[in-house]
Chains A and B, each alone.
Chain A
Amino acid sequence: MASLRDIKRRIGSVKSTQKITRAMKMVAAAKLRRSQEAIERARPYAYRMRDLVNRVALRANNEVHPLLRQDNGGKIGLIVVTSDRGLCGGFNSNVINHTMKTLSDEFNDKEVELTVIGRKGIEALRRRRTTIRNTYRNVMDDNPFRVAGELIDEQVAAFLQGEFAGVYCIYNEFKSAISQNLTMERLLPFEPPEQGEVVVDYLYEPSQEGVLTELLSRHLHIQMHRILFESAASEHGARMTAMDSATNNADDVIERLTLAYNRARQSAITTEMIEIVSGAEAL
């Protein structure tokens, strides 16, 4: 049995760990609130933009714009969004596992180049057999809008040159503080619209090509920007949940250790008493 002093020391160490997890939980909760507001503000605009692009794609002919082209053979660009910091439960490992699974299943016969966002993903995916094209760190502390633009422009250029046949993104979509939805989204090429009723094409100003070029690139920027915010909100939610269960778990551990400590103290007293009594008897 562990000595009294050892148990006491362990209780102290668990308690100080608990202080840290509790503080981290509170910080995560505060950050979650802010990033949740941000994503909820960003979504309506991003969704409207997406709907508009779909309506345009339905009306416009696939041939009219290179970004609407469907079949150009080539590599796959995969954007993987993780966090820079750990201690957020399965947040990053889910993304990384799903990425590895996608590489071996869906894109088994394709050459895939990864663009990895977040230190955790970069470290994990570098260790495995993957081709990494580009990496970004500390995106949210930097300027997420600028980074999203840069990243998308680079992928779009590769798509237009025929280097990429498609661009996909794996990220955690924010559902609520306690749940994230791991998603893979196709950014390019655009989904071929289902041919429903024939609708009248728009009158474009200044020109169809001009409008489409601006609309499609703007749309992709906005979506990437939204994805970064989805992931950030999910990360804080995941961390809050993880730190909450760590704090609760520390409570359980402390309770068990306290019990063991009291038992050990009791038996030490008993032994001492027996010693005294039998000593007195011997006299």
Chain B
Amino acid sequence: MTVQTDTLKLELSTPDRAPVSLEAREITIPGAKGVFTVLPNHTPYLATLSVGVMIVRGTDGSENFFAINRGFAEVVQNQILILTQTAEREEEVDVERAEKAKERAEERLQKRDADIDHMRAEFALRRAVSRIRAHQRDAY
């Protein structure tokens, strides 16, 4: 039998750097269909992720915010694997750049030109917003 524990082992992997391992008590993840929170002894779960903020609440009461950009989350027996395109910790976010990206995306969305790729602009906007919110530690 698996031992019931109250910690989650999180592994966060992105294509551009070495994977990060963290221990957590609770993890809030932006799923494709909505935000969900994983607690210890969660049922096996596989979800696609959207653009948003992931919150990792550590066993010591700390809170880490990550701006993540799509991917997958797998939960099996308190092991959580997050595969995502980018994951930026709150302190890594380049806020100035994110603010500029946000303005740019909003501008593009305002113009109702047919030749603007709305999907792309929409995603750019959501990425920028998620970065800013991760930086401000204000998620949901």
Kindly report which residue of chain B lies nearest to residue A204, judged by CB atoms.
Answer: B46
Expressed in whole angstroms, the minimum distance between the Cβ of A48 and any Cβ of chain B is 5
A215 at the interface (CB under 8 A from B): yes
- Report A185-227 CB contacts with B as 1/0, cut-off 8 Å: 0000000000000011111111000110011001000100100
Say if the beta carbon of A20 comes within 8 Å of chain B: no
In the complex, whether B7 has a CB less than 8 A from a CB of chain A is no
When the two chains form their complex, are residues A45 and B83 in contact, meaning their CB atoms are under 8 A apart?
Answer: yes
Please state if B19 and A44 are interface contacts (CB–CB under 8 Å). yes
Q: Is the interface of A mostly helix, strand, loop or mixed?
A: helix
Please classify how large the interface on chain B is, using the bins under 10, 10 to 19, 20 to 34, 35 or more. Answer: 20 to 34
Please tell me which one of the listed residues A49, A205, A211 contacts residue B83 in the complex, with CB atoms under 8 A apart. A49
Q: Contacts A202-B45, A203-B43 hold; do A45 and B33 have CB atoms under 8 A apart?
A: no
Complex contact B43–A45 (CB within 8 A): no
- Choose from B31, B32, B72 the contact partner of A52 (Cβ within 8 Å): B72
A24 within 8 A of B: no
B13 within 8 A of A: yes
Q: Which residues in B have their C-beta under 8 angstroms from that of A222?
A: 15
B19 near A45: Cβ-Cβ < 8 Å: yes
Flag if B43 contacts A206 (CB, 8 Å).
no
A263 to B83, CA, bound (A): 69
How far does the Cβ of B65 sit from chain A's closest Cβ, in whole Å? 21
**A156-203 interface with B by 8 A CB criterion:** 199-203
Picked from B14, B46, B72, B83, the residue with its CB within 8 Å of the CB of A203 is B46
- Whether, in the assembled complex, B109 has its beta carbon less than 8 Å from a beta carbon of chain A, the answer is no
Bound-state Cα–Cα, A72 to B81, Å: 33
Residue pair B43, A44 in contact (C-beta under 8 Å): no
A127 to chain B, nearest CB (A): 37
Q: A215 vs B18: C-alpha distance in the bound complex, in angstroms? A: 21
Interface contact A211-B18, CB-CB below 8 Å: no
CA distance A202 to B17 in the complex (A): 28
Q: Say which residue of B11, B17, B43, B72 sits within 8 Å of A215 (CB atoms).
A: B72
CB proximity to A under 8 Å, residues B1-26: 11, 13-19
Most A CB within 10 A of own CB, among B16, B17, B74: B74
Known: A52-B72, A52-B81. A45 touches B13 (CB 8 A): yes
Let me know if A103 is at the binding interface, CB within 8 A: no
| B15 lies within 8 A of A41 (CB) | yes
Tell me if A246 counts as interface (CB < 8 A to partner B): no
A214 engages B48 (CB within 8 Å): yes
Picked from B11, B15, B43, B46, the residue with its CB within 8 Å of the CB of A211 is: B46
The 6 closest A-B pairs by CB, nearest first: A205-B47, A202-B46, A45-B15, A206-B33, A202-B44, A45-B13
Which A residues have a C-beta under 8 Å from some C-beta of B? 41-42, 44-46, 48-49, 52, 55-56, 199-206, 210-211, 214-215, 218, 222, 225
Tell me the B residues contacting A by CB distance below 8 Å: 11, 13-19, 31-33, 36, 43-48, 72, 74, 76, 81, 83
Supply 11 further A-B pairs (C-beta < 8 A) apart from A203-B43, A206-B48. Answer: A45-B15, A202-B45, A203-B45, A205-B32, A205-B46, A205-B48, A206-B33, A206-B47, A211-B47, A211-B72, A215-B46
